[in-house]
Amino acid sequence: MTEAPRTAFIYSERYQHFDYGPGHPLRIERLALTYELCRAYGLLDLPTTRLIEARDATEDEIVAFHRSDYLDVFRASERGNPPPNLWDYGLGTSDNPTFPGMYAWSLLSTGASLQAMELVDSGEVECAFNIAGGLHHAAAARAAGFCYFNDAAVVIKHLLRRGRRVAYVDIDAHHGDGVQFGFYETDGVLTISIHESGETLFPGTGFAEEIGRGRGIGHAVNVPLLAGSDDEVFLWALDQVVPPLLTAFNPDVVVTQLGADTHRTDPLTNLAMTTTGFAEAVRRLQPLCRRWIALGGGGYNLENVPRSWTLAWATMNAREVPDEMPGSFLTAFQRLGFRATRLRDDPTPVEAATREQAWRFVREQVHRIQRLVFPHHGL
C-alpha cells in the first residue's frame, strides 16, 4: 500500500469574521462548510495531516508582487478615506466592494497561502491546501473579479526569489489572468489555465494564442472551453496538455488553483462539470505534483464547493471516503436548504449538439497549443 503523503490544511475561524456584503456572489461561509465536512469525514485527524492556523501576511511579503501605491489606496479605502482615483485601482466596484475588514481579510487569506508555501518548500509536508486562496484575478496594482491580493502570484514571487522553478495549474472556470500576466515574460514560471472561453466569460482573456512574451514565450498556456463542456471534455483537455508540459518543464513546486465553479449549476459560469469530474481532475493532477501548494478559488453555489474541496482534500491524502455525507454534517447542511446528500454527482447528460460543438472546439484548441507551445518545451 502506498504511504500516505504528509499534508497540511490551512484554516482559521477568523475567515468567518469577513463578509463581502449582502448579495455578493463570493460567500465566505463556503470555507467553514468545507472545513466542517472535512472534519466530519475525519480527514483533519489523519496521522500524516497537520491542521494549521492561518497567519496574516506582512506588507513586506505582499509587495513582492503588489505595488506599494496600491496598498496605500487599499488601506485608505478601508479606513473610510478613499482617494478620488479609487476606481483606477479596481476598488469600490460591485465586484470588489470596500467593506469593513477587507484589508485584514486579504492579509489573512494571503498569509495562509504563504504558510502553505513555507511548509511545502521546506519539505515539512508534500502538499498544503489553503481553501481561502486562489484569488487569481488581482493584478499588481488593481483588484478584479472579487480578488484584492493575488495570493498565488505573491507565493510564486517568493518561490522565484528562492530560486525555484514553478508551475501554476488553474482549473477554475475563469481564466487565471492575474497570475498569467504577472509572469508573462519569464521562463521561470509555467502557467497553465483550463477555463471557459473568454468569449463568454469574465475576464475575457485566456485564448490559446496567449503564449507569453520575450523570455516567457511558450510559458503561458491556455485551454479555453466552450460553454456546456462536460467532465469528459475537461478531463481530455487536461490529459492532452498538463502531463506532457509539466513533465518537460520539471518544476520544483506546483501551485494549483482549484476553483469549483466549473460545476454545471454554478450561477456565474456556463460549464457542465460535476463534483465527480472535478475530483477526477484533482486525482489526475496529484502524481504530477511532487511538491504541491493547493489553493481554493471560485465556486458560487454553496452546495457544490464543500463537496468538491472535500473530495480534493481526500485525494491529497490518498484516502477514499464514503459517498454518503456524514449525518453530523448533513443535518446542518440540509438546515441551510441544500438537498445534496452525497459527495459525487450522478452523470448529467449534455445535449448532443452542445457536446459535439464542445468536442470540436477543444480539439482545435489543443492542436493549436501543441503547435504554438509544445515545440518550446522539446515536445
Which residues, 6 or more positions from 61, have their beta carbon under 8 angstroms from its beta carbon? Answer: 110, 111, 114, 154, 158
Q: Count CB-CB contacts under 10 A for residue 329.
A: 18
Q: Is residue 5 packed enough to be buried (19+ CB in 10 Å), middle (13-18) or exposed (0-12)?
A: middle
d(CA 207, CA 181): 13
3-state secondary structure of 199: coil
Tabulate helix, strand, coil % of the chain (nearest 5): 40, 15, 45
pTM value surpassing 0.95: yes
Query: How does pLDDT run along the chain (379 residues), one tens digit per residue?
Result: 456 789 999 999 999 999 999 999 999 999 999 999 999 999 999 999 999 999 999 999 999 999 999 999 999 988 888 888 899 999 999 999 998 899 999 999 999 999 999 999 999 999 999 999 999 999 999 999 999 999 999 999 999 999 999 999 999 999 999 999 999 999 999 999 999 999 999 999 999 999 999 999 999 999 999 999 999 999 999 999 999 999 999 999 999 999 999 999 999 999 999 999 999 999 999 999 999 999 999 999 999 999 999 999 999 999 999 999 999 999 989 888 999 999 999 888 889 999 999 999 999 999 999 999 999 999 9
Q: Is residue 196 packed enough to be buried (19+ CB in 10 Å), middle (13-18) or exposed (0-12)?
A: buried
Cell of residue 7, nine digits: 499534508
Q: Which amino acid is at 81?
A: N
Burial of 153-180, coded b for 16+ CB within 10 Å and e otherwise, reads: bbbbbbbbeeebebbbbbbbbbbbbbbb
> Which are the catalytic amino acids?
175
Q: Which of 139, 130, 112, 121 is nearest to 57 (CA)?
A: 112
Cell of residue 279, nine digits: 475530483
Cell of residue 243, nine digits: 502531463
Domains of the chain (ranges, CATH numbers): 7-377 (3.40.800.20)
d(CA 165, CA 190): 8
Q: Which amino acid is at 65?
A: F
H and E: helices and strands count for the chain: 11, 8
| Residue pair 274/199 in contact by the 8 Å Cβ criterion | no
Cell of residue 278, nine digits: 472535478
d(CA 229, CA 167): 25
In sequence order, which ranges of 226-270 are alpha helices (DSSP H)? 231-249
d(CA 111, CA 114): 5
| Residue pair 282/234 in contact by the 8 Å Cβ criterion | no
Outline where DSSP puts E strands in 171-219.
189-196
